[in-house]
Amino acid sequence: GDSVTQMEGPVTLSEEAFLTINCTYTATGYPSLFWYVQYPGEGLQLLLKATKADDKGSNKGFEATYRKETTSFHLEKGSVQVSDSAVYFCALRYNQGGKLIFGQGTELSVKP
Amino acid sequence: GAGVSQTPSNKVTEKGKYVELRCDPISGHTALYWYRQSLGQGPEFLIYFQGTGAADDSGLPNDRFFAVRPEGSVSTLKIQRTERGDSAVYLCASSTTTGAANNEQFFGPGTRLTVL
């Protein structure tokens, strides 16, 4: 079945470091791909998305490119801030189905 | 405007009891989803509604779980004969429709259920 796998956390970085959180997926069709973020004490929020192969989603300095050939959607940011500390979830969704299929989440901790 | 709200925020119950969890979606959103998030895991899909009807209930783990949305707005997730393994955060999300690629799901803060 369809699934999403993320790199295990926690990931601990110093402020201004480069961030990569790996995400790969298994899908029988052509899903849309998403990154959600859960800040401490808050609900899940959509960070960015890409709806087809080679699309790049971006928001708040974060980017991810939909790579069909490697079935990946890695999250990157050039310079992280303490305020980026959160749990990040990669997810896929088929347009017809509606439901999101999430990875297990990767906790990011950014130290000043 | 108001986001998705869920009540209660916390629910502690004893094994074997019945619980109801409520979700108020964003006004005008026709699609509503329930997910369950266990500690250290990503959310797992339970059920979604398009209007009043359950369009996909394939994620409900067993027949102790049931959800309704009688008027196409508020939804209630019902769990009978609760078990300790039901302990999790139950998340609700809503969106304008289910089909289009650009329709974002907006999540509520969740209800933390603890079964003793």
Q: From CA A35, how far away is CA A74, in angstroms rounded?
A: 9
Give residue-wise pLDDT tens across range A51-82: 999 999 999 999 999 999 999 999 999 999 99
A42, A99, A101 ranked by CB distance to B33: nearest = A99
Asked if the model's pLDDT at residue A97 lies above 70, the reply is no
For B110, nearest residue in chain A (alpha carbons): A43
Query: Region A6-17: what's the mean pLDDT?
Result: 95
Query: Are A101 and A50 a contacting pair, CB within 8 Å?
Result: no
Q: Does pLDDT of B2 surpass 90?
A: no
Write out pLDDT tens, residues B48-92.
999 999 989 999 999 999 999 999 999 999 999 999 999 999 999
Which residues of B, range 39-78, sit inside 8 Å of A by Cβ?
Answer: 40-45, 48, 50, 55-56, 59
Instruction: Give Cα separations from B5 to A45, A69, B59, B69, B90 (angstroms).
Output: 14, 40, 22, 15, 12
Q: Tell me which residue in A32, A49, A99 faces B45 most closely, judged by beta carbons.
A: A99
Largest CA distance in chain B: 41
Asked if pLDDT for residue B99 goes beyond 80, the answer is no
